[in-house]
């Protein structure tokens, strides 16, 4: 058994539509992998299916965390097993402050009857906010309500920092961000990088990978991983364009 997030010959459908086709991928703990590919190719579907979204049906194949299949687990059980998904479109939760939300999420990880130590929680929260250059006033705002795109993504990274996952999937974290916000978010992810975290960064653009330099790059097209390589693959893809991938995909099929 290896410490990794592993996807084995995974097939995922939404209703009758087959989206992910026979995809395999392994992200060892401590590494950052990127998935690139054109829009509508199944990248976000993969992210949501791994998180356990009820609309996404895994028809065959497997997904494992540290060698254990997670497919039978509920969404929240997967989370408590150390899987974090930074959403492309984070949801608003009116009336629930960021601090209370994160506190509830951390409390859910404690055994029944145990409660989080409030002063210790706030100390950690403020430390992580300082690290991510987030204003402390942020904590009393309702989760994502009226946030700018950049604020939403920063809020995702803050939650990730506080929940300390073993594996994180970042779904189009760069979408809707200007270059300054992109830098802040990337700095945050880089600060969390280390031997205890395996990350899968999903992106449409090579741009993000200038800031979050991946250990490996996978290219997805039409629901399949069609090519994997070192970080240079991202640059090659950028210069040759997605038509090149279409060709590869065509040859593979």
Partner 1 sequence: MTTAATQIDIDRDKGDFKYEESHKYDAGIGLTEKTIDYICDVKGENDWIRDFRKRALKVFESKELPTHWATKDLENIDFNKIRYYLAGDKRAKKSWDDVPDEVKETFERLGIPENERKFLAGVEAQFDSEAAYSNIKEAVAKDGVIFMGSTEGLMEHPEIFKKWFGKVIPTGDNKFSALNSAVFSGGSFIYVPPGVKVSHPLQAYFRINAENFGQFERTLIIADEGSEVTYMEGCTAPKFDTATLHSAVVELVAMPGAKIEYITVQNWSSNVFNLVTKRAIAHENAVVKWIDCNIGSRLTMKYPGVVLKGRKARGEVMSIALANEGQHQDTGAKMIHAADETTSNVISKSISVGKGRSTYRGQVRMPKHLKGCKNNTECDALLINSDSRTDTYPAITVRGDKNYVQHEASVSKVSAEQIFYMQQRGLSEAEAMSLSVNGFVNDLTRQFPMEYSVELKRLIELEMEGSVG
* Residue ranges in contact with partner 1 by CB under 8 A: 51, 53-54, 74-76, 78-80, 84-85, 87, 90-96, 100-102, 104-105, 108-109, 142, 159, 163
**Closest CB to partner 1 among residues 100, 206:** 100
Provide, rounded to whole angstroms, the least separation between the CB of residue 172 and partner 1: 15
Q: For residue 96, how far is the Cα from the chain centroid?
A: 23
Q: At 104, phi and psi to the nearest 5?
A: -65, -40
Provide, rounded to whole angstroms, the least separation between the CB of residue 83 and partner 1: 8
Non-local CB neighbours of 62 within 8 Å, separated by 6+ positions: 6, 7, 8, 9, 10, 69, 71
User: Is the Cβ–Cβ distance between 226 and 249 less than 8 Å?
Assistant: yes
Provide, rounded to whole angstroms, the least separation between the CB of residue 180 and partner 1: 26
Provide, rounded to whole angstroms, the least separation between the CB of residue 194 and partner 1: 21
Q: At 18, phi and psi to the nearest 5?
A: -85, 120
**Closest CB to partner 1 among residues 156, 174:** 156
**Closest CB to partner 1 among residues 71, 96:** 96
User: Is the Cβ–Cβ distance between 173 and 153 less than 8 Å?
Assistant: yes
Q: What is the DSSP letter of 138?
A: G
Provide, rounded to whole angstroms, the least separation between the CB of residue 115 and partner 1: 13
**Closest CB to partner 1 among residues 89, 126:** 89
**Closest CB to partner 1 among residues 84, 138:** 84
CA–CA dist 59, 120 (Å, integer): 44
Provide, rounded to whole angstroms, the least separation between the CB of residue 237 and partner 1: 29
**Closest CB to partner 1 among residues 38, 176:** 176
The 3-class secondary structure across 10-59, one letter per residue, is: EEEEECCEEEEEEEEEEEECCCEEEEECCCCCCHHHHHHHHHCCCCCEEE
């Amino acid at each position: 058994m290896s410490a990794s997030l592993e996807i084995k010959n995974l097939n995922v459908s939404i209703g009758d539509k087959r989206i992910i086709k026979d995809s395999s991928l392994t992200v060892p703990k401590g590494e950052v992998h990127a998935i690139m590919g054109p829009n509508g190719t199944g990248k976000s579907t993969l992210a949501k299916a791994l998180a356990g979204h009820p609309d996404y049906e895994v028809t065959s194949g497997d997904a494992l965390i540290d060698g254990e299949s997670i497919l039978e687990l509920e969404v929240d059980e997967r989370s408590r097993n150390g899987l974090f998904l930074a959403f492309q479109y984070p949801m608003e939760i009116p009336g629930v402050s960021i601090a209370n939300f994160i506190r509830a999420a951390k409390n859910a990880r404690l055994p029944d009857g145990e409660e989080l130590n409030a002063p210790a929680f706030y100390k950690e929260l403020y430390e992580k906010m300082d690290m991510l250059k987030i204003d402390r006033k942020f904590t009393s705002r309702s989760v994502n309500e009226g946030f700018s795109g950049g604020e939403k993504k920063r809020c995702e990274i803050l939650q990730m920092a506080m929940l300390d996952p073993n594996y994180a999937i970042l779904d189009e974290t760069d979408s809707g961000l200007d270059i300054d916000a992109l830098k802040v978010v990337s700095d945050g992810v880089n600060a969390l990088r280390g031997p205890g975290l395996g990350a899968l960064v999903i992106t449409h653009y090579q741009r993000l990978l200038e800031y979050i330099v991946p250990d490996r790059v996978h290219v997805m097209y039409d629901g399949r991983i069609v090519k994997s390589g070192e970080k240079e693959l991202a640059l090659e893809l950028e210069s040759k364009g997605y038509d090149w991938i279409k060709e590869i995909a065509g040859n593979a099929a």
